């Protein structure tokens, strides 16, 4: 008994690109996993600003994870040492060791880069 199998590459391609097909379900699962890891790795409340989606890209479906926190750029990259001055008031007010402190100038030491999105991508593979 002989069996002949004919493979239609176009049919396989259509199957893989189907909405809610096996490829999209797997891509959604992996993208969700990366977004969950990014939420855990993000500093402070930044994790609540992370969202994800699977969308059509130039080469087919692609998973996208983004963070739309207003200060995410400063966290992912670094900041140099800089001076902080009040904008609208005469003094800056903040707490140090449970005491309220007022000052006209703060010398911020800068921050190191925290690439939590890159780490999430590595860990989510």
Q: So what's the pLDDT on residue 6?
A: 82
Model pLDDT, residue 34: 96
Above pLDDT 70, what percent of the chain?
98
Rounded to whole angstroms, how far apart are CA atoms 23 and 15? Answer: 8
Question: What is the reported pLDDT for 47?
Answer: 94
Residue 55 token pair: 């969308």
The pLDDT of residue 110 is 94
pLDDT value for 122: 94
Q: Which pLDDT score is estimated for 123?
A: 93
**Whole-angstrom distance, CA of residue 30 vs CA of residue 121:** 10
Record the tokens describing residue 61, joined without a space. 């479906």
pLDDT value at position 39?
A: 96
Q: Residues of the chain whose pLDDT is less than 70?
A: none
């Amino acid at each position: 008994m002989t069996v002949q199998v004919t493979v239609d590459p176009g049919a396989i391609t259509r199957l893989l690109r189907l909405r809610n097909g096996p490829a999209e379900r797997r891509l959604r699962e992996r993208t969700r996993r990366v977004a969950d890891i990014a939420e855990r790795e993000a500093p402070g409340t930044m994790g609540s600003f992370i969202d994800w989606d699977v969308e059509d890209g130039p080469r087919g479906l692609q998973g996208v994870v983004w963070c739309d926190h207003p200060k995410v750029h400063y966290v992912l990259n670094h900041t140099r040492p800089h001076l902080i001055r009040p904008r609208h008031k005469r003094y800056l007010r903040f707490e140090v060791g449970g005491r309220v402190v007022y000052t006209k100038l703060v010398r911020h030491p800068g921050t190191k880069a925290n690439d939590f999105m890159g780490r999430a991508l590595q860990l989510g593979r």
